[in-house]
Amino acid sequence: MKQNKKENLKLKLLTMVILLSFVNVFGQNLNTKIIFLNDIYVAYAEAAKSQVSDLNDLDQVYKDKIQSTIMNRYFLKSEYSDIVNIYFSAPIQNIAELNQVIERINANKKRIESKVTSALEKSSRYLKNDSVTIYILPANPDNKAMMQHMSGIMGLTAGSKQILITIEPDIVGWEEMLEYAIAHEFNHAYWTHLNFGKSTKWTLLDYLIFEGRGDSFAHLLYPKVKAPWTSALNEKDKEDLWNKIKPKLQSEDLRFQMEVMFGSKNYPFSGGYTIGYEIVQQALKSTMTVENWANLSSEKILEMSKYSWK
């Protein structure tokens, strides 16, 4: 009997060692997947070299090899599948530079895994949302200027359990921004897990607070990381923008919302992100847990800030 107990103990210890080794080797916990999509982009680059004679052909190869492949394989059932499909709709034309981006991601694969895992573990201490999958993809070289502004990282929440991270490791600051972006998108995934489908409406106010929550959560975890879109306006510009959009906070026009959030000829660059972040930051001056404010309604957060409907 004692022998059996000893053997059982040995078996348990051996199992723990194997599991810990698995975590260390793959740089992730057992409830998290990190999927690199480089192979899909390599297949596209190879097809582009052998099949393309003009840009129209290149666009079709891109749709077949990247957009359709990724959507069909991973995101058809995601809560925000329509947005993900749009995200993958812009063809990549600079194939030579794309191959270099892929090489840089491959060279930094272990570093990326480590940063992603660390950020997920840190985020999970505050908000519970298990089994989130992170998809890593190379940046489109045609978007280099935008990637520079984003410190080499762009994030997109596909749904409650899926996050896409676009990386250009050639841009200084990408490692710190990677952790920040994971926290930001994790907050979105958490909110989606609890709230998606509860309302058919998506207003400008919802969008402002959605992004303000994400940045507030990311700054809580990584206070030293500077996200330029959260401070893109001075005080006068913030006041002017708020007065301009205040009568339209209930607008469900997505095109208008995107103009406010990202900027256009009518609205300042990243203005919506700056306003949304400030509203949430002001609301958080009252004492409450992260789990509580991360799930408050947009109207309640606005009410708790110095901003108002009037």
* pLDDT single digits (tens) 4-59: 555 554 444 443 333 333 333 333 444 679 999 999 999 999 998 887 666 568 88
User: Are 75 and 171 found together in one domain?
Assistant: yes
Looking at the structure, tell me whether residues 100 and 191 fall in a common domain: yes
Instruction: Quick: pLDDT tens for 254-271.
Output: 999 999 999 999 999 999
Shared domain check, 185 and 113: yes
Tokens of 27: 């740089």
Q: Is residue 159 part of a domain?
A: yes
Query: How much of the chain, in percent, has pLDDT values that exceed 70?
Result: 86
Report the candidate in 131, 122, 156 with the shortest Cα–Cα distance to residue 225.
Answer: 122
3 belongs to a structural domain: no
The residue type found at 79 is E
- Based on the fold, state whether residues 42 and 166 are members of the same structural domain: yes
Domain that includes residue 98, residue range: 33-195
| Cα separation values, 20 from 16, 74, 116, 123, Å | 6, 28, 18, 21
Tens of pLDDT, residue by residue over 60-84, are: 999 999 999 999 999 999 999 999 9
Q: Is residue 135 domain-resident?
A: yes
One domain for residues 51 and 107 = yes
Q: Does 191 lie in the same domain as 60?
A: yes
129 and 90 within one domain: yes
Task: State whether 107 and 74 are in the same domain.
Answer: yes
Same-domain check for residues 162 and 276: no
**How many structural domains compose the chain?**
2
Q: How far is CA 295 from CA 19, 72, 128, 282, 306, in A?
A: 34, 31, 12, 16, 20
First to last CA, the chain: 77
Q: Among 148, 178, 195, where does a domain finish?
A: 195
Average pLDDT, the chain: 88
What Å distances lie between residue 112 and 91, 174, 203, 295, CA to CA? 25, 10, 35, 29
SS3 state of residue 291: helix
**pTM, full prediction:** 0.87
Among 172, 195, 218, give the residue marking a domain's end: 195
Same domain, 188 and 236: no
> Strand 33-36 and strand 153-159: pairing?
unpaired
Confidence check: pLDDT of 89 > 90: yes
Q: Report if residue 21 sits inside a domain.
A: no
Residues 191 and 211 in one domain: no
User: Domain end: 140, 170, 195, which one?
Assistant: 195
Residue 139 domain-assigned?
yes
Number of residues that make up the chain: 310
